[in-house]
Amino acid sequence: MEVHSPQEFSIQAQIDRLKNQHLVAKKAEPFQDPIREFARASKVESLVSKWLTYPIEERKRLIKANFLPLVRLPANPGNGIMEESDDLFASRQMERWRALCVIIQEESRAAAGNRSAEVAAAALKLLFPEHNWKSSVTESPKA
């Protein structure tokens, strides 16, 4: 006959949880918070995290100044700067795309007096530069 105390059961349960903790794989979570999603970004993170605190005119200026299309960084062997790798360029491009997506989302969920469709449209145009944004609306075919 073996007698166990309630305290021993709780201690054993805690030990088992600690042992099995590393075995539980964390599932991928859906996109929830734009700022937390953007936490991996570098210099643009602080700009985007306070996006709605800037006045609308300042936001328009920031879109034009900080989110220009990216070009590969040139190599300069004299200064020891090698050509930018494909991975680094893709990483910078992804950071820019994330920032533009967060800006569009922040503009869409801002309060009525603080949102700007012009800022969101400018970010969208920078996100899809290959689209012909100047095309006129065509009439639908008549039935």
| Residue 4 forms part of a structural domain | no
Total domain count for the chain? 1
Q: Are 67 and 102 in contact (CB under 8 A)?
A: no
**Cα end-to-end distance, the chain, whole Å:** 89
From start to end of 1-116, where are the E strands? none
**pLDDT tens-digit series, residues 71-113:** 887 777 777 777 778 888 888 888 888 888 888 888 888 888 8
Instruction: Give the structural domain span for 38.
Output: 31-127
**pLDDT tens-digit series, residues 11-62:** 888 888 887 776 656 665 555 555 555 555 456 666 777 788 889 899 889 8
pLDDT at 27: 61
pLDDT band at residue 138 using 50, 70 and 90 as cut-offs? low
Six token digits for residue 55 = 């006045």
pTM confidence score: 0.60
| Residue 49 forms part of a structural domain | yes
